[in-house]
Amino acid sequence: MTRTNSLISILAASMVAAVSGCGDGNSTKGNGKMSITVSQYGKTADGTAVEQYTLTNKNGLIVTLITYGGHITSVQTPDRDGKLANITQGFDDLAGYMDWTRNQHFGGTIGRFGNRIAKGKFTLDGETYQLATNNDPHHLHGGDVGFDQVVWKAEKVEEEGSVGVKFTYVSVDGEENYPGTLTCSVIYSLNNDDELKMDYTATVEGKSTVLNLTNHAYWNLAGEGSGKILDHELLLNCDQYLAVDADLIPTGKLVDVKDDALMDFTTAKKIGKDFTAVKKGEEHGGYDHCYVVNGKAGELRLAARVSDPSSGRVMEIHTDQPGIQFYSGNFLHGQKGIGGKAYPAQGAFCLETQHYPDSPNQPSFPTTTLKPGETYRHTTVHKFSVAK
């Protein structure tokens, strides 16, 4: 899951709010009030200011996000003793997010096309488009400069029972060689039911395009930088997954998980239970597979439930997308994150709600084509709780 380095470099040192990684060991006793604050987070090489938004609900949960790449920079939730910890990987400053030897899309808003497109090529309306093959020999997560490497416009969103931030970005026709001028937005909101909601919308002008937006947060419910996640217990509400080739490109076949016990999470089990078998001796083996979410695409339904026995933290994911990519952090390489903590392989997991990989080249998959006059919509909800 590596990237080429960003074309943008840091100009000024970042000014980081104290919530960026702190909070470990603090008790959460919400004051009954919601809040949203904005602080400066630094500037890019061209002088564009980057802001950080801090969302707090009445229970004391805290979510921080920055306008650079639409990154979620921290999610602080309590354990069974009420102590807060940040459960998503990140960095102390803007420089970390702009360093693509370290930042493997940590918490970024991914587009235009999340996941892989075979050979970086697809045909739409009779024209063939060649995208960057930044995951050689394939295209990954939008190309050399995806949506998690640009600065989004932002505005506060305050509603009864929730606070949030609306990120908006206009991707011009031909950016990363995608067709059509795309206007997309995502509202990240935190409510008093301890839910982090992601509402994506997009429209395109001039030409049709392909689109697959998602968020790429890396989770460790014991607290980021606290070791491997192989003892986390995962349930996937998915009876099938997509068979892939050696390059993780779908073959077009949907496989019943009951026919492959290694891939079956329909009953909760430890991520590491069958991990050694899944690795099959490969250096970077492990889970990096798209699962088919049970139920009807377009309707919000349970996709995944993860729990950490050590802390008691639980995260449920509901989505209206057809698929969810389960990635067990196989390509993490010990890079230093928040507070200098090392992020080893399998030090976090990703559950990315999305359409299927390589959909533009797979006619049997749900379409990812967006035409002028249509509106793309995608909702995903992460609900946090503590096991009794």
User: Residue 172: CB partners within 8 Å, gap ≥ 6?
Assistant: 181
Give dist(CA 71, CA 37) in Å, integer: 16
Catalytic residue among 216, 232, 355, 378: 216
User: Residue 81: CB partners within 8 Å, gap ≥ 6?
Assistant: none
Q: Among all chains, which residue has been given the structure tokens 């939730």?
A: 77
User: Residue 18: CB partners within 8 Å, gap ≥ 6?
Assistant: none
Environment class of 99 (CB within 10 Å of its CB; exposed 0-12, middle 13-18, buried 19+): middle
> Is 216 assigned a catalytic role?
yes
> Is 352 assigned a catalytic role?
yes
Beta bridge partners of 168: 153, 185
Give dist(CA 73, CA 52) in Å, integer: 9
DSSP string, 256-274: EGGG-GGG--SS-EETTTT
Catalytic residue among 224, 289, 352, 378: 352
Closest-CA residue to 124 (of 205, 179, 206): 179
DSSP string, 317-362: EEESSSEEEEE--TT---EE-GGG-EE-TTS-BEEEEESPTTGGG-
Closest-CA residue to 54 (of 23, 18, 24): 18
Give dist(CA 343, CA 360) in Å, integer: 33
User: Residue 210: CB partners within 8 Å, gap ≥ 6?
Assistant: 112, 113, 117, 122, 124, 178, 359, 360, 368, 369, 370
Sign of the Cα pseudo-torsion (215, 218, 220, 224, in order): negative
Structural tokens at position 143:
């190309």
Which residues are marked as active site?
A: 216, 352
